């Protein structure tokens, strides 16, 4: 007996040793390898290609709108900044006249003699209207430049010598396009020049493209020899500004010396002052663009969610199966995050391409209301920030939509949420979520009301909150409509299609919410933008009516609708008042001045004029 026990113990010990040497089953990996991720997504696309395409198209639409809006808004300031820097070159300071009469040109020699000045140049600027032989007209910024300026900003190497010859005018390629001067014969003809109440025929000396004029070729600009423009405008010995390039490290000293030359009657500012002034003037437009981009991004999230919810049941079943197979939660999250990244990246690239086409076609026009006060460029300017914003919109939209099924990971039972849920699995909007959305809508509404009550400057932020509140209130409105339709179906038994539609909506509550929220947001945006456009048009019409109420006829520079370009009227007013049928003739003055970092339209109305001209603006 003892021998049998000993043998059994020996066999047991050998069996234990063999089992100890057997490999243990591998533990599930926390993350999945790149090949497995790619293979899994390819198989998923084979089964749900239509749903993924719909989601990608929705995200691409949102990305296109966001990218086009940002690029169009940034192109105005970007291209205009390039034009300003082309003019000023290395100059960092300037003496700028406060009126259209300019400053004495002798200040240029005084500035050049300052010990800290490396170089200086002067120019004369005015707004002019050009009329081509074909009859087409263009309002341009006309600059008279001397050799000192073109050598300062570096254009002396590229501008043809004949451009600055006597009685010649050089047109930018954009100006030539506006005048339809594209043939060689037309480029050697003349144009009629109207400025400061004077008219003259000036031969075209050159059409300046980018190779000769740099960024100025994309602006409505013309250039002449300084002395000739002074003669035509009756401003002999006058210039609009003097650009100064200080020696390294002596900018502060030179600024102080220039202030001594100005005697408080001339502005001493940075040479690129127009860039900061334009940025300030574009701030309302930039805020409106930001609002449109935000609404577009929210629309992208809703479109992607509505499309991906079509395959939500399959996604939730896949999550349950993977968990039953032993895959860790971190690996499942990684898998869905990579899918969202791949779909968002592909949709974003398509959206960026479509957005660029929109930015150079439908949204390529500069805000013409600023053309009287600034030299505006029309070149499309791309930036890394706009690309990053567009990519982020697409990826985040797909990420939010694709991560909704991952809420099942919170439950320890993988099959509970998939097979024990009313309606189609993955499309139920639980009561807790509805209550949270209703509470969020109430909070957002209160916040928007408070913002609107504090001041008009918060209106755009309030609009963003109202757009978000519109989305949050959709479940409440949807429930109310469904309850009303259920009562109607009970009252009218012949409405046989309504119960079927109600059961379908109840089975896909979350998908119905996404689709209804998309329509609600689109309707909100169209009403908000349409109302804003109507208010703007109405305000402009009211102001224009009050502005022109002083007289039936106005006499001014051709193309100067706002009467901001002055001219020497002489005794013109007295002679007009003597004409038969004229009861009164008065002098009006207007122009742009810089006040506290803003370019302000200053209006000097005649005595006895309409007093309500600015009532709508105060």
- Report pLDDT digits (tens) over 79-112: 888 888 888 888 899 999 988 888 999 999 999 9
Q: 265: which DSSP letter?
A: S
DSSP conformational letter for 23: P
Q: What is the pLDDT of residue 364?
A: 65
Enter the tokens of residue 238. Answer: 């006058």
What does each C-alpha distance from 502 to 124, 423, 426, 510 come to in angstroms? 73, 12, 18, 14
Distances (CA, A) of 252 to 62, 144, 249, 341, 594: 48, 29, 8, 52, 22
Mean pLDDT of all residues in 581-587: 87
In this prediction, residue 189 carries a pLDDT of 85
Question: Please, are residues 343 and 56 in contact by the beta-carbon 8 Å criterion?
Answer: yes
Mean pLDDT calculated for residue range 192-205: 89
Give CA–CA dist 402/418, Å, rounded.
17
**Each residue of 340-354: pLDDT tens digit?**
888 889 999 999 999
Could you read off the pLDDT of 139-188 as tens digits, one per residue?
898 988 877 676 666 565 566 666 666 678 989 998 998 898 877 766 77
For residues 258 and 266, give the distance between their C-alpha atoms in angstroms, rounded to a whole number.
9
Share of the chain above pLDDT 90, in %: 11
Beta bridge partners of 122: 242
CA–CA separation, 91 and 581 (whole Å): 54
Q: Are 133 and 182 in contact (CB under 8 A)?
A: no
Q: How high is the mean pLDDT of the chain?
A: 79
Tokens of 195: 């400025």
The secondary structure element, H or E, covering residue 246 is: strand 241-246
CA distances from 360 to 32, 348, 401 (A): 43, 18, 31
pLDDT band at 55 (very low <50, low <70, confident <90, very high): confident
Residue 27 has pLDDT above 60, yes or no: no
């Amino acid at each position: 007996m003892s021998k049998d026990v000993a043998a059994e113990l020996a066999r047991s010990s050998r069996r234990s040793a063999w089992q100890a040497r057997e490999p243990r089953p591998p533990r599930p990996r926390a993350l999945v390898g790149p090949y497995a991720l790619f293979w899994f997504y390819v198989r998923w696309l084979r089964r749900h290609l239509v749903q993924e395409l719909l989601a990608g198209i929705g995200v691409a639409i949102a990305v296109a709108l966001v990218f086009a809006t940002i690029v169009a808004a940034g192109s105005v300031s970007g291209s205009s900044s390039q034009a300003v820097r082309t003019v000023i070159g290395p100059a960092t300071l300037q003496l700028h006249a406060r009126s259209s009469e300019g400053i004495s040109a002798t200040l240029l020699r005084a500035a050049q003699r300052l010990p800290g000045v490396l170089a200086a140049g002067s120019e004369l600027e005015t707004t002019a209207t050009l009329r081509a032989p074909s009859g087409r007209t263009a309002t341009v910024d006309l600059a008279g430049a001397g050799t000192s300026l073109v050598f300062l900003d570096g254009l002396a190497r590229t501008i043809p010598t004949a451009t600055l010859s006597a009685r010649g005018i050089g047109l930018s390629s954009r100006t030539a396009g506006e005048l339809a001067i594209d043939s060689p014969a037309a480029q050697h003809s003349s144009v009629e020049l109207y400025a400061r109440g004077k008219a003259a025929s000036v031969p075209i000396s050159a059409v300046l493209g980018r190779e000769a004029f740099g960024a100025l070729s994309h602006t409505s600009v013309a250039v002449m020899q300084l002395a000739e423009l002074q003669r035509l405008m009756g401003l002999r010995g006058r210039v609009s500004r003097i650009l100064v390039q200080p020696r390294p490290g002596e900018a502060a000293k030179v600024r102080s010396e220039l202030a001594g030359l100005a005697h408080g009657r001339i502005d001493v500012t940075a040479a690129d002052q127009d860039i900061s002034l334009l940025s300030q003037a574009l701030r309302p437009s930039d805020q409106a663009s930001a609002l449109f981009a935000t609404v577009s991004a929210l629309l992208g999230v809703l479109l992607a969610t509505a499309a991906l919810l079509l395959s939500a049941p399959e996604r939730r079943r896949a999550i349950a199966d993977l968990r039953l197979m032993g895959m860790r939660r971190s690996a499942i999250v990684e898998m869905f995050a990579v899918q969202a990244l791949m779909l968002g990246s592909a949709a974003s690239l398509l959206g960026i391409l479509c957005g660029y086409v929109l930015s150079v076609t439908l949204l390529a026009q500069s805000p013409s209301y600023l053309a009287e006060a600034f030299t505006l460029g029309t070149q499309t300017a791309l930036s890394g920030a706009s690309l990053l914003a567009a990519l982020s919109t697409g990826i985040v939209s797909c990420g939010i939509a694709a991560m909704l099924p991952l809420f099942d990971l919170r439950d320890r039972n993988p099959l509970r949420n998939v097979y024990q849920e009313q309606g189609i699995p993955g499309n139920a909007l639980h009561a807790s979520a509805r209550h949270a959305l209703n509470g969020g809508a109430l909070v957002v509404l209160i916040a928007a009301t408070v913002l609107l009550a504090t001041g008009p400057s918060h209106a755009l932020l309030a609009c963003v909150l109202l757009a978000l509140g519109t989305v949050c209130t959709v479940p409440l409105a949807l429930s109310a409509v469904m309850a009303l339709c259920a009562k109607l179906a009970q009252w009218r038994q012949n409405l046989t299609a309504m119960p079927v539609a109600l059961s379908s909506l109840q089975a896909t509550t979350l998908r119905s919410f996404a689709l209804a929220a998309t329509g609600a947001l689109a309707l909100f945006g169209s009403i908000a933008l349409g109302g804003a456009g109507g208010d703007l048009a109405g305000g402009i019409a009211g102001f224009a009516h009050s502005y022109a109420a002083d007289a039936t006829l106005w006499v001014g520079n051709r193309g100067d609708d706002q009467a901001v370009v002055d001219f020497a009227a002489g005794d013109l007013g007295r002679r007009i008042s003597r004409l038969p049928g004229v009861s009164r003739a008065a002098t009006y003055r207007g122009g742009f001045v810089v006040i506290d970092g803003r370019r302000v339209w200053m209006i000097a109305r005649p005595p006895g004029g309409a007093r309500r001209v600015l009532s709508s603006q105060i």
